[in-house]
């Protein structure tokens, strides 16, 4: 569970201290250039570029083993990338050489929703939302509890504050995880196949919460196999294979007239 507390960061010194973005460089809210990752058996990411604007909902598609999850984990420093740069809100950092204090500040701007919820099994839904706020961010308990109630209400769990994970369905557990993510008021939420562990009925309730977040203007990067969500909610789609981006564009471009034969083949098969 150290991954969870690591994502909350600290409250002190919120300004970033990277290098200013260079003139003429894509100055989106978040820009990744040339990210590489090798686990020792060949490159998993082969120089991926990615640009995110405020309010984007970007669906990342691709077959298993294409590097989608690794990309998200490297972007949030759950894995250490071997090369490439990140420019976040105009501040530039080099993967592999970034300082721990800068990682903590960058994580303050993001949240991560895992495939398998990653809830504390010995804590209630409310405690799962408030724990990081109280422990990692040193927020007064009363304020954290008020935020926890509000976030659980937002994801439709106002009657489940005191339920433990084993008393909740998979869909409800994932909604607690989403409540925990939005409680920190992140600039971006990374979703790593948030419905992959759910049956179809429970998948729908989680996707509906994500649709509501998109409607609220939340910036989201979503690794998913839910093509209807990608088509109807995302404004940008990235298709990856073999650790590289094969094609990217608007949802309309990718689903209605993909340029690459491999993209067309993938969409036909799924």
What tokens does 200 get? 């179809």
Are the C-beta atoms of 30 and 71 separated by less than 8 Å? Answer: no
User: Which residues make Cβ contacts (< 8 Å) with residue 204, sequence separation at least 6?
Assistant: none
Q: What is the pLDDT of residues 125-140, one digit of tens each?
A: 999 999 999 998 999 9
The three state secondary structure string of 220-251 is EEEECCCHHHHHHCCCEEEEEECCEEEEEEEH
Q: What is the pLDDT of residues 232-257, one digit of tens each?
A: 999 999 999 999 999 999 999 999 99
Q: Which residue has the tokens 């570029």?
A: 49
Quick one: DSSP state of residue 130?
H
Quick one: DSSP state of residue 259?
S
Structural domain 2-269, CATH architecture: 3-Layer(aba) Sandwich (3.40)
State the alpha helices, DSSP H only, in 9-140.
68-75, 100-107, 125-135
Q: In what order do the strands lie in the sheet with 110-113?
A: 110-113, 188-192, 219-223, 57-61, 236-241, 244-250
Closest CA to 48 of 31, 34, 38: 34
Closest CA to 225 of 61, 57, 113, 114: 61
SS3 49: strand
Are the C-beta atoms of 177 and 208 separated by less than 8 Å? Answer: no
Q: What is the pLDDT of residues 132-185, one digit of tens each?
A: 999 989 999 999 999 999 999 999 999 999 999 999 999 999 999 999 999 999
- What is the reported pTM? 0.89
Report the b/e string of 44-75 with b at 16+ CB within 10 A: bbbebebbbeeebbbbbbbeeebbbbbbbbbb
SS3 73: helix
- Greater confidence, 21 or 224? 224
**Which phi-psi region, left, alpha or beta, contains residue 48 (left: φ > 0; alpha: ψ -120 to 50)?**
beta
Angle between helices 170-183 and 200-215 (to 10 degrees): 20
Phi, psi of 211 (to 5 degrees): -60, -40
Q: What is the pLDDT of residues 182-218, one digit of tens each?
A: 999 999 999 999 999 999 889 999 999 999 999 999 9
At residue 1, the pLDDT reads: 52
């Amino acid at each position: 569970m150290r991954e969870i507390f690591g994502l909350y960061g600290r409250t002190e010194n919120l300004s970033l201290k990277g290098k200013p973005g260079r003139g003429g460089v894509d100055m989106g809210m978040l820009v990744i250039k040339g990210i590489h990752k090798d686990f020792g058996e060949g490159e998993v990411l082969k120089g991926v570029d990615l640009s995110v604007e405020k309010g984007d909902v970007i669906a990342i598609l691709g077959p298993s083993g294409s590097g989608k999850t690794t990309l998200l984990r490297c972007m949030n420093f759950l894995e250490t990338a071997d090369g490439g740069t990140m420019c976040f809100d105009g501040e530039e950092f080099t993967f592999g050489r970034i300082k721990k204090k800068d990682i903590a500040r960058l994580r303050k701007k993001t949240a991560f929703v895992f495939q398998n919820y990653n809830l504390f099994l010995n804590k209630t839904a409310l405690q799962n939302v408030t724990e990081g706020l109280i422990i990692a961010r040193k927020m007064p308990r009363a304020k954290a509890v008020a935020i926890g109630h509000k976030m659980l209400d937002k994801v439709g769990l106002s009657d489940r504050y005191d339920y433990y994970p084993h008393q909740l369905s998979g869909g409800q557990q994932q909604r607690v995880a989403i409540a925990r993510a939005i409680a920190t008021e992140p600039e971006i939420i990374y979703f790593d196949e948030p419905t992959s562990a759910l049956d179809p009925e429970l998948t729908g309730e989680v996707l509906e919460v994500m649709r509501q977040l998109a409607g609220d203007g939340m910036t989201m990067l979503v690794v998913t196999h839910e093509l209807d969500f990608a088509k109807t909610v995302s404004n940008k789609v990235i298709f990856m294979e073999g650790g590289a981006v094969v094609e990217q564009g608007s949802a309309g471009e990718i689903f209605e007239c993909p340029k690459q034969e491999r993209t067309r083949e993938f969409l036909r098969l799924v």
